[in-house]
Amino acid sequence: MARLPRLTVPGLPHHLIQRGNNQQSIFLDDQDYAAMHALLALQAREAQVAVHAYVLLDSELQLLATPASAEALSRFMQAVGRRYVRQFNQRHGRSGTLWEGRYRCAVLQAETWLMPCMSRFDLLPVQAGRADSPAAWVWSSHRHYAGAQADQLVSPHSLYWSLGDTPFAREQAYARQVEAGLTAAQQAALVDAALHGWALGDGTFLANLQKQTERRITRGKPGRPRKGATAVQSVPNK
C-alpha cells in the first residue's frame, strides 16, 4: 500500500519522530547532542517553526512543534537532517546514511494532547534508563519548564502560559502534570499516530480537520472530505 502524504497544518502542534537507521545511535557523546541542539535552534528560527518541547535520546529525537506554513516543517527537518549527518560523519570518520528514513509526524489537538506529549518527552529518558528523573536528563525541554535552565530552542505554547499567573505557578503546575504521567493508552496513541501520520484529537477536532483535506487523517473511516479546501495541505513525503 502506498504511503500517505505527510499531513501538515500551519498553526497546529505536530509530534515529530526521527530515528537512527536500524536503531543505531545518532548521538555518541555530549558534543553530538550539543551540535543537534544548536542546529535545531538555528533552523527552527530560519524555517519559522516554534519548537514547544523536545527530547534527544541515543537513537532518536522527538519534537513537539508548530509550523507557520505548510512547507515549514519539511524545510526545517531536511535542513537539520542533512547538516547534522554531514557534521556527524566528518567528526566520527564515517559515511553513508544515518536516518531510518523520512521523519514521522502527527497533528495534535493542543487542548487534548499538548501536555501529555510534553510529559511523555520528559519521562522517556527515565523509561529508557538514561536518567533517574526528568530533571537529570539535560537533553530535553524539561529543565526549561521546570525553571532550572533557560533553553533558546524552546518556544512555549500558549497553553503553557495558561497554567499559572507567575513563573513559579506555571513551573509547579507543569511539574504536577509530569509527575502524574500518562496512561498506557495515551502513550500508545501518541506513538501510533506519529508513526502512521494520523491526527489526534476529539471527535469535533478530527471531523473539522477531515473536512479540510482529501487525505485520510485517522485509522478509521475517513468520511467524505470537502473538496477545494486550502487550510490543510498534504505535503509529499521527502
Taking 70 as the threshold, does the pLDDT of residue 9 lie above it? yes
Does any domain span residue 233?
no
Residue whose cell numbers read 504536577: 176
Asked whether residue 112 is assigned to any structural domain, the reply reads yes
Q: What is the pLDDT of residues 138-159, one digit of tens each?
A: 999 999 999 999 999 999 999 9
In a domain, 219, yes or no: no
145: burial class by Cβ within 10 Å (0-12, 13-18, 19+)?
buried
Tabulate helix, strand, coil % of the chain (nearest 5).
Answer: 45, 15, 40
Share of the chain above pLDDT 70, in %: 91
Q: How many angstroms separate the Cα of 59 from the Cα of each of 1, 15, 68, 125? A: 27, 17, 28, 12
The amino acid occupying position 181 is G
101: nearest Cα among 134, 70, 78: 78
Q: Within 10 A of 178 (CB to CB), how many other CB atoms are there?
A: 21
**Mean pLDDT in the chain?**
91
Count of structural domains, the chain: 1
pLDDT for the residue numbered 1: 43
**Which CATH number goes with the domain that contains 22?**
3.30.70.1290
> Residue 38 belongs to what H/E stretch?
helix 30-47
Cβ-Cβ contacts under 8 Å for 203 (sequence gap 6 or more): none
Task: Tell me whether residue 154 is in a domain.
Answer: yes
Q: What is the pLDDT of residues 27-62, one digit of tens each?
A: 999 999 999 999 999 999 999 999 999 999 999 999
What is the DSSP code (8-state) at residue 186? H
What angle is formed at CA 40 by the lines to CA 62 and CA 92, rounded to 5 degrees?
Answer: 90
236 is a domain residue: no
Q: What is the pLDDT of residue 233?
A: 53
Q: Is residue 15 part of a domain?
A: yes
Domain containing 102: what range? 7-211
Q: Is the pLDDT of residue 86 over 60?
A: yes
Q: Does residue 234 fall inside a structural domain? A: no
227, part of any domain: no
For residues 79-97, average pLDDT: 95
**pLDDT class of 221 with cuts at 50, 70, 90:** low
pLDDT at 222 over 50: no
The cell 473536512 sits on which residue? Answer: 211
